[in-house]
Amino acid sequence: MNTQDMDAVQAFIDAINDQDLTAISRLMKEDHTFIDLGGQIVSGREKMVEGWQGFFRMFPDYKNRVEMMLADKGVVAVFGWACGTYNGKRGLLPENRIEMPAAWKAVVEDGKIKSWQVYADWTEGSKIIEEDNRC
C-alpha cells in the first residue's frame, strides 16, 4: 500500500470539498483525465478546472465523504458518499439534496492525479434535476 498515493488522493478530495480550484488544478497532472458516471471522458487540466467550476455552481455545498481507501501500484480506490444540494431553478431547497454511496478510482503519477473516475448510482440526482427543470 502506497501512503503517498493515498495522501495525494486525500489532498485532491480535500480540495474538492473546499471547492478550491487552485488546489484542484495544482493536484492534477496537465494531461489529467476525468471519467464521469456515464463513462464520458474529459481530458486536460484546464478543461477539468472549468468543469469543476461549473459543477460547484450546480452543487455549491458538494462534499465527498471517505469511508475507506485502498492503494496498489499507483491506483487508489476510494469508497464513501457523495452529497450536495442541486442549485437549480428552485434554489438550494432541502428537497434538492442528493446523498448517495459512491466510489472513485484515481491513478496517481508523480504525486498528482492522472485520472479520476466516479462510480455511483445517479438515479436520485437525475430525478431531482428533472423535477427542478419542470418548474
Structural domains in the chain, CATH included, are 3-134 (3.10.450.50)
Report pLDDT digits (tens) over 86-132: 998 888 899 999 999 999 999 999 999 999 999 998 888 888 888 88
Residues 6+ apart with CB under 8 A from 128: 86, 95, 96, 98
| pTM of the full structure | 0.94
The whole-number pLDDT of residue 53 equals: 97
Question: Nearest-5° angle of CA 129, CA 132, CA 135?
Answer: 150
Q: Please report which confidence band the pLDDT of residue 1 belongs to, taking 50, 70 and 90 as the band edges.
A: low
Q: Is the pLDDT of residue 56 over 70?
A: yes
